[in-house]
Amino acid sequence: VLRKLQQKTNNKLKQEHILLIIIALSLITIIFLPIASLVSNVLCVVIPFQRTVRLVIANKPPTLDLIVFWMTFGLLCVVDCSLVVTRVVPFYYIFKMVAMNAIVLDERVCRFVVSGYKRMGFLVEEDIGKRAKEAVEVLKEKSKHLKGELDEMKDK
Written as one string, the DSSP assignment of 51-106 is HHHHHHHTT-PPPHHHHHHHHHHHHHHHHHH-HHHHHHSTTHHHHHHHHHHHHHH-
What is the pLDDT at residue 127?
A: 65
Enclosing domain of residue 131: 124-156
What is the pLDDT at residue 121?
A: 67
The verdict on 55 and 102 lying in the same domain is yes
Tell me, yes or no, if the pTM score tops 0.85. no
How confident is the chain (156 residues) per 10-residue block, as mean pLDDT?
78 79 77 75 83 88 84 84 78 81 76 76 63 78 82 78
Number of domains in the chain: 3
The verdict on 69 and 52 lying in the same domain is yes
What is the pLDDT at residue 122?
A: 64
What is the pLDDT at residue 123?
A: 56
The verdict on 138 and 62 lying in the same domain is no
* CA 43/CA 22 separation, integer angstroms: 11
What is the pLDDT at residue 112?
A: 78
